Amino acid sequence: MHRLWFNMAMLGIEAQQVIWLRTMKLAMGGKRGEREARRMVSEKVAAAGQASVQIARGASPDKVVKGYRKKVRANARRLSR
């Protein structure tokens, strides 16, 4: 259980970083901002679908959260460039 809480807390922290980075990208506008907005929506839909499948197959909550963290960290790396 401790691991789940740790991963949830880290997901919250990492997600805040991505929110800030994405906000900066969207605020710049232009084609890059539009592309990021579309990408953000499609990634969220895909991640929710993937989590739903994992849950339906009996994955633990910790495994689902770890999957989200992996995607959030990838976005942080991509947006930090």
Separation of alpha carbons 50 and 39, rounded Å: 16
* Domain interval for residue 67: 2-80
Buried residues in 10-26 as b, exposed as e (16+ CB within 10 A): ebeebeeebeebbeebe
Q: Could you read off the pLDDT of 5-51 as tens digits, one per residue?
A: 999 999 999 999 999 999 999 999 999 999 999 999 999 999 999 99
pLDDT given at position 32: 96
**Number of domains, the chain:** 1
Given this model, what pLDDT does residue 1 score? Answer: 79
Q: Whole-model pTM?
A: 0.91
Q: What is the pLDDT of residues 46-81, one digit of tens each?
A: 999 999 999 999 999 999 999 999 999 999 999 999
